[in-house]
């Protein structure tokens, strides 16, 4: 089979998969998981035909997948793939460009630069920020915090990239008590320590209590705020945090893995008032922007700090371009052109479309909350964005309902423990979720809760 024939066949299979997605059960079928055993085999001595490999992959993999890309997956914070972004991902994979350096791959480097310019505009961040396209918010947090580490230590007369952290002036890190665990992981990877932090107490919604934030007495200081708590969706009062921390010379970083997208909506951006005063921001494109995995973005106001942390030079690398070299800003050197899918998603939606996507998901979340409350169930959070936490009574009963809804397959919702209470998490993040999907999911949840 020609490569074109193979890709046609693959497109047929992928199209059939996606067409069936809204109608199929959301969780995987146990029979399909059992069939995965067929994959456990010795490394083949001889190669096989590509079309046969793809046919087998489709036969075994597709039914065993979870309908995460579909409209009734409400677990974690999971977006689907907008049609143009999925198709752009395929085409860019056919190009197979190693998008580290402008002079080597000008097409994809230009697309990334353009995507970055649009993102800064859409998210209302300073237009001259540097940015890096990475794998997700975990690495975006890592990347931005590496820039922060550089700057606060450079200001104290220490070159951390050259001399490491042994003997360096101590860096104070202040972080909200309900920060996402991946931020702690980033701190660990940066040598700043998961435990060597000052935890600032948070309120009942998980927002940092600004009255408890004390930055004075300085030395090198990094404050880590959050917009969009992974459970409640609550956003720190970021403008107030900047007003406290910035005059003391602290670096303010914002983890906005999904919440940062609220800036694109006139209806919701008030939650993030003052976010543009921070120094760095991390977000995910694979969550609310609905591009394929894996895709996150770091934005950093201090371009020199980010470059100092990330750029490398070597005789064989043409790094002295007047244009933006993607790898000057990322932990990776060789990399795929993640920004291309983001560019395509922004083309497909436009400014208005991103705002509508955010507002539609939030309206669906409100609808879930209203109907669940009306049925007598307790919604544990203020539903300010796309996240709903619901209790069905005792912890045990809540866990029973969650397990039953996952087994039922109409929709998928996960479990969390929010400030001591077990809750079902409903996160509405998919571009294709309709009111009918919400109604159908509610009917299943309410039926199971009443049974």
Ligand X SMILES: *Cc1c(COP(=O)(O)O)cnc(C)c1O
261 CB burial (10 A radius; 0-12, 13-18, 19+): buried
Other CB atoms closer than 10 Å to residue 49's CB: what's the count? 10
Q: Which long-range contacts (CB under 8 A, 24 or more apart) does 329-335 make?
A: 329/130, 329/131, 329/132, 329/143, 329/298, 329/300, 330/132, 330/133, 330/134, 330/143, 331/134, 331/139, 331/142, 331/143, 331/146, 332/100, 332/134, 333/100, 334/98, 334/100, 335/98, 335/99, 335/100, 335/133
Nearer CB in complex with ligand X: 226/416: 226
Nearer CB in complex with ligand X: 255/332: 255
Site string for ligand X, 236-255 (x = CB under 6 A): -------------------x
Nearer CB in complex with ligand X: 102/258: 258
The reply to whether 339 sits near ligand X by the rule CB under 6 A is no
CB of 360 to ligand X, least distance (A): 19
CB of 167 to ligand X, least distance (A): 31
25 CB burial (10 A radius; 0-12, 13-18, 19+): middle
The reply to whether 176 sits near ligand X by the rule CB under 6 A is no
- Tokens 């995910």 locate to 284
166 CB burial (10 A radius; 0-12, 13-18, 19+): exposed
CB of 416 to ligand X, least distance (A): 12
Which residue of 71, 79, 136, 292 would you call a contact of ligand X, by CB under 6 A?
A: 136
Interactions with ligand X, residue window 281-310 (CB under 6 A): 284, 296
The reply to whether 338 sits near ligand X by the rule CB under 6 A is no
Nearer CB in complex with ligand X: 220/228: 228
CB of 311 to ligand X, least distance (A): 23
CB of 317 to ligand X, least distance (A): 28
Q: How many residues bind ligand X (CB under 6 A)?
A: 14
Interactions with ligand X, residue window 51-110 (CB under 6 A): 77
Interactions with ligand X, residue window 179-238 (CB under 6 A): 180, 182, 226, 228, 230
Q: Strands (DSSP E) along 285-344, which ranges?
A: 296-300
Whether the CB-CB separation of 331 and 310 falls below 8 Å is answered with yes
DSSP codes of every residue in 149-176 = HHHHHHHTT--HHHH-STTPPP-EEEEE
CB of 280 to ligand X, least distance (A): 14
Nearer CB in complex with ligand X: 82/448: 82
Nearer CB in complex with ligand X: 230/365: 230
Interface with ligand X by CB under 6 A: which residues? 77, 136-138, 180, 182, 226, 228, 230, 255, 257-258, 284, 296
């Amino acid at each position: 089979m020609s490569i074109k024939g193979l890709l046609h066949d693959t497109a047929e299979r992928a199209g059939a998969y996606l067409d069936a997605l809204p109608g199929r059960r959301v969780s995987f079928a146990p029979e399909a998981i059992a069939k995965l055993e067929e994959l456990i085999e010795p490394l083949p001595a001889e190669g096989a035909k590509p079309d046969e490999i793809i046919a087998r992959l489709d036969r075994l993999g597709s039914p065993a997948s979870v309908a995460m890309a579909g409209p009734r997956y409400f677990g974690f914070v999971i977006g689907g793939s907008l049609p143009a972004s999925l198709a752009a991902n395929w085409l860019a994979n056919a190009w197979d460009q190693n998008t580290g350096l402008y002079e080597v791959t000008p097409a994809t480097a230009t697309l990334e630069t353009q995507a970055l310019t649009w993102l800064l505009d859409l998210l209302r961040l300073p237009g001259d920020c540097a940015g890096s396209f990475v794998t997700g918010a975990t690495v975006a947090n890592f990347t931005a915090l590496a820039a922060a580490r550089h700057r606060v230590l450079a200001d104290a007369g220490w070159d951390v990239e050259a001399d490491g952290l042994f003997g360096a002036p101590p860096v104070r890190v202040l972080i909200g008590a309900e920060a996402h665990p991946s931020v702690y992981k980033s701190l660990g990877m940066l040598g700043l320590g998961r435990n060597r932090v000052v935890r600032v107490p948070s309120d009942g919604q998980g927002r940092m209590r600004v009255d408890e934030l004390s930055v004075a007495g300085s030395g090198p200081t990094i404050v880590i705020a959050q917009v969009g708590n992974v459970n409640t969706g609550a956003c720190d009062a970021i403008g107030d945090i900047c007003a406290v921390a910035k005059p003391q010379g602290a670096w303010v970083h914002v983890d906005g893995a999904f919440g940062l997208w609220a800036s694109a909506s006139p209806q919701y951006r008030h939650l993030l008032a003052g976010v543009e005063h921070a120094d760095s921001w991390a977000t995910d494109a694979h969550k609310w922007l609905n591009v394929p995995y894996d895709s996150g973005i770091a934005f950093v106001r201090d371009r020199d700090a980010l470059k100092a942390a990330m750029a490398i030079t070597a005789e064989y690398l043409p790094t002295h371009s007047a244009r933006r070299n993607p790898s000057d800003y990322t932990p990776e050197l060789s990399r795929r052109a993640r920004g291309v899918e983001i560019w395509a998603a922004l083309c497909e939606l436009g400014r208005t479309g991103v705002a509508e996507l955010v507002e539609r998901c939030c309206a669906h979340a409100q609808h879930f909350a209203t109907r669940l409350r009306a049925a007598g169930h307790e919604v544990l959070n203020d539903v300010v964005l796309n996240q709903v936490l619901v209790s069905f009574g005792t912890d045990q009963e809540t866990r029973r309902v969650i397990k039953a809804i996952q087994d039922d397959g109409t929709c998928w919702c996960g479990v969390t423990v929010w400030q001591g209470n077990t809750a079902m998490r409903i996160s509405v993040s998919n571009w294709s979720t309709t009111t009918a999907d919400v109604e159908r999911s509610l009917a299943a949840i309410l039926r199971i809760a009443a049974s």
